[in-house]
Structure 1
Amino acid sequence: MPTIIKEKTDLKFEPIHLSDLTEITDLYFARSEKENKNFEQSKLTEEFGFPVYKLVEGNLIIGYSYFTIDVSDEIVFKAIINPEYSFGDLENRFINHSKQKYFSQKEPDRKGMKNSINRIVDWLNWSR
């Protein structure tokens, strides 16, 4: 069941589906190009992480949350939100909500999570 985040707009918080991955990778590449003008990477890396939840306004995906495993083997949740739709502390609330929701359904398994990241990145690179 989607969680609605009420503030400036009616945003829905939903799990990511396979059919969302094209829009998710587009958001990732758009953000990466904006942050790094020399960004010319055509393939995803482990930095892409494993997408878990999306922020939706109407039929438009405006952001998504994901996890990565850092060099200290810690699980790190992050989010990418289209800047046109980001307001207040939306990113922090989205990250915290994603983390709570994800861990309420699964036990942390760093090795399995790292494997999931590698598998989805490899699969997305192969399918592009």
Structure 2
Amino acid sequence: MPTTIKEKTVLKFEPVHLSDLTKITDLYFSQTGIEKENTNFEQPKLTEEFGFPIYKLVEGNLIIGYSYFTVNSSEEIVFKAIIKPEYSFGDLESRFINQSKQKYLSKKELDRKGMKNSIMRMVDWLNWSR
């Protein structure tokens, strides 16, 4: 009788580092349906919807998701996540968002204006550096 070995998937929850931003922007473009390159050889620009990445989900060396915050039209801070569909099972996304929010807010004071400025500076810098 053949033996079936099931691999256990181990996902790690880690802070986002500057060196992760290229992979995170690639993941963002692939999951939002925005074409990374268009016919004019120009890359699309990021907007404030990209948010400010704070934590990543990693399997091995592969970033499979990241959490971020944005500021909505009512000036409220909203925590969100993007996870590759093949890894998004059960309530992983909501648990990831909740853990990210809890961990981030335990280290930082909620400053809506400062957080909004951080998003704009991050997006501008990423658009300039690509």
| TM-score, L = length of structure 1 | 0.88
Q: Matched residues in 1 for 2:110 and 2:104: separation? A: 9
Partner of 1:18: 18
Q: Matched residues in 2 for 1:87 and 1:10: separation? A: 14
SS in structure 1 of the partner of residue 110 of structure 2: coil
- Note the alpha carbon deviations across 1:43-81, whole angstroms, 9 max, x for none: 000000000000000000000000000011110000000
Cα drift, residue 9 of structure 1: 1.6
Partner of 1:96: 98
Partner of 1:44: 46
Q: Which amino acid aligns with 2:31?
A: R
| TM-score, L = length of structure 2 | 0.87
Partner of 1:31: 31
Structure number with bigger Rg: 2
Q: Which amino acid aligns with 2:57?
A: L
Amino-acid identity (%): 79
Q: Which amino acid aligns with 1:108?
A: L
Q: Matched residues in 2 for 1:86 and 1:17: separation? A: 22
Partner of 2:3: none
Cα drift, residue 32 of structure 1: 1.2
Q: Matched residues in 1 for 2:32 and 2:15: separation? A: 23
Cα drift, residue 125 of structure 1: 0.1
Q: Matched residues in 1 for 2:32 and 2:58: separation? A: 20
**Deviation beyond 4 Å, 4+ runs, structure 1:** none
Q: Matched residues in 2 for 1:113 and 1:122: separation? A: 14
Answer 1 or 2: which has greater strand percent.
1
Q: Matched residues in 2 for 1:9 and 1:104: separation? A: 28
1:62 aligns with 2:70: no
Partner of 2:5: none
Partner of 2:117: 115
Mind listing any 5+ residue stretches in structure 2 that lack a counterpart? 1-7
SS in structure 2 of the partner of residue 84 of structure 1: helix
Which residue among 58, 73, 76 is the counterpart of 1:74? Answer: 76
Q: Which amino acid aligns with 1:63?
A: G
